[in-house]
Structure 1
């Protein structure tokens, strides 16, 4: 399954230092079932992957210069939309679905697609193909030139 908004909020709340039950309530679960929901979220591979990505991104940020951008899901500003999609595709901390969508969009603009033929061209090609072979029309006879 994909990382839903609720799962993303839960992962962010857990990484901020909240307990499992508090994080589930913060993510939008009812108080009565928050403990069970927290248990499910802790075992969910998407939540674990999101938390791992955030931890890795924080470690990378600590190693590098601190970023000014408060939202980790938006890459750096770019004047070129293709460059923006390239940054989004290569971002470690972004959601994998967003990265995949960025890669698809980028491929649509950078990879050439063979042109399609129109109806008339397809009919002409089909006629040429059908007129060949064993039952094709014979060549006209040679004429004597005077």
Structure 2
């Protein structure tokens, strides 16, 4: 399911410090099902990625007594670029390689990238497997021999 306005409202309420149930109510979910909706939404991949991105962004905001640029170590990951990705594959690679992202989210990003990096091996039937095995055997004991060369003499 897509990341819609209700999910964004829920995530913003969680970032504000509300509990899952209260955040779900604030996002417009029914009070009767708010607890279950909050639990479900926290586990949603889109919401989890949004929460992680927002937390990383909040951590990287300059402090009131920020050290000078010479004292500050260079960040490993450009937080501003994380919210400006146009390519989902590049975003997932960046999220997977970011040390500050939760390990579960990094694993989820790696799982999502698997089909793009490693091609799935197609299933072969019995006949295909038999033909491949025959090719591997090559010119064995019972393999067909090469046909003889045909030489033509044009002498008169």
Same fold? TM cut 0.5: no
Which structure's relative contact order is higher, taking Cα pairs within 8 Å and 6+ residues apart? 1
